[in-house]
Amino acid sequence: MRNIELKEVIKISIKYSLFFVLFTNFIEKSYYLIFNIQKYEDVGIGQFIFNPISYMLVFIITLLLAHKKYIKTNKNAFNGILFITFFFIVISYLVAYINDFIFYPINELINNPVEQKNTGIMSLFDAMENTFSTSSFLPIFDLFVLPFQNIKNSIITLDGYAFILSVIRSKILLSTIIIFYESLFYLFNKFNRSGYQALIPIKNNLMLLELTNNPTWWIIPIYIPFVRFIPKYLINLDISKKIDKQNSFVIGMTLMPWYFYGLISLNKINAVQ
Q: Assess whether 114 and 199 both reside in one domain.
A: no
Cα(232)–Cα(97) distance, integer angstroms: 42
Q: Assess whether 119 and 237 both reside in one domain.
A: no
Residue 155 lies in a domain: no
Residue 106 lies in a domain: yes
Reply yes or no on whether the pLDDT at 170 is more than 80: yes
Cα(24)–Cα(22) distance, integer angstroms: 6
Residue 1 lies in a domain: no
Residue 207 sits in which domain range?
A: 173-265
Residue 257 lies in a domain: yes
214-246 pLDDT, tens per residue?
999 999 999 999 999 999 999 999 998 888 777
Q: Assess whether 121 and 199 both reside in one domain.
A: no
24-69 pLDDT, tens per residue?
999 999 999 999 999 988 888 888 899 999 999 999 999 999 999 9
> Between 258 and 114, where is the model more confident?
258
Q: Worst-scoring range by mean pLDDT, 144-148, 198-202, 265-269?
A: 265-269
Residue 40 lies in a domain: yes
120-147 pLDDT, tens per residue?
444 444 556 888 887 788 888 999 899 8
Q: Assess whether 72 and 178 both reside in one domain.
A: no
State the total domains in the chain.
Answer: 2
Residue 153 lies in a domain: no
pLDDT at 133: 83
Cα(173)–Cα(149) distance, integer angstroms: 13
Q: Assess whether 118 and 203 both reside in one domain.
A: no
Is the distance from CB of 99 to CB of 21 less than 8 angstroms? yes
Residue 273 lies in a domain: no
Residue 160 lies in a domain: no
